[in-house]
Structure 1
Amino acid sequence: MDYEQLPRAALVRMLQEHDAALADAGKNGIVMSYTGRAAPWQIIRQVKPKLHRIIKKVSFGEETAQSENEIWDGENLSAMVTLYKYRGQVDLVVTDPPYNTGEDFRYNDKWDKDPNDPDLGDVVPKDDGSKHSKWLRFMTPRIWMMREMLTPGGVMAICIDHRELFRLGMLMDEIFGEENRIGIINWQKSYSPRSDN
């Protein structure tokens, strides 16, 4: 972005939004700053809720009871915006975000301005110098929204590997406060050493 070409009012607005995001984040003692950082609510308020339907082949029990427990398949930010009516009522959130391996995580730069853009973007390669910033820009509004869904005693469990573990930890501390971290559970996926060939 060429800041020299922007009008003064636009620059002042950008600084005010940045300061507001940092002040909000600083409530929990941690403030992360990275390229493209935006306040989560600036992105979330643009997301359009989706219509959902009951799929009979995966439904169980009487139709009136089927709305008590739901399985959602799709982009999680869109799903959470749709489920926002349940904010503060969820006891457990489990999420398995992209691990940012250079093979599985797709990012669309347009999402910062239009989170409803259906294009998944390109796979973020291992050698992308801003891969961690892109991952954080993707994750921040989602983690923030998941926090909004939880009850005061609710728990969030996230599956992640070593590539983004520490950035995720900092993000969680920023959003939840480090005093709310319960712990990290290590899981050994493989019991035999891999060949590097």
Structure 2
Amino acid sequence: MVVPALALVAVTVIGITALLGGLEEAPEAPPQLTSGAVLDQGRYSTRFVESRVRVEPAESTFAEDKRFLELVFDVTNLGDETTPVGLPPSEPEGAATSSFFAGSLVKIAPAFPEDAGPFVFALSKDQDETRQLHPGVTTKVIVRYELKDTERPPEKVTLDVAAFEYGAGFQDPTEKWSMISQEVGDRLVPEIRARVTMPVREGAGA
């Protein structure tokens, strides 16, 4: 009979696979977080404050208001050295070489056009813009994208976020902070520590 024969073949294949090392398990989905969550990223402790639309009024009657989609974070540098804020990678595959906070934002969805940004800065206690994160200090970090006049902001933004570890690299014995990654073929791929979805709040002023 055909059905029993097929079943026997399937059982045989499964048995051989188990004998050779078992079925390959699918990687576990990363934890799902949202606005307000705090994530230990090794080098940084990060609170995902909110995602919002911010309007900056025109500086003169000849200019126009500007609208931005902003991602807001409270970032504490847990290391011993001051670090640059950095930039999100243009492609997820290029993220593994970064040791800076914004580099850990491996993927931002939906994607924005290249001319929209990102523009990244931090705010000091005096609300001055800076590009540095000092050890032991919690600093507000803004990642923003400019919206076109007729462009509707997304309802939510989802981030794939990586983490860091201190130690020797894959090919470099020097101990330092590096993104937790795994080798896939001839390249390093960041491990996603969490997937964070933040609803977009509209109506934020300048």
Q: TM-score, normalised by structure 2?
A: 0.23
Higher strand share: 2
Larger Rg: 2
Higher helix share: 1
Q: TM-score, normalised by structure 1?
A: 0.24
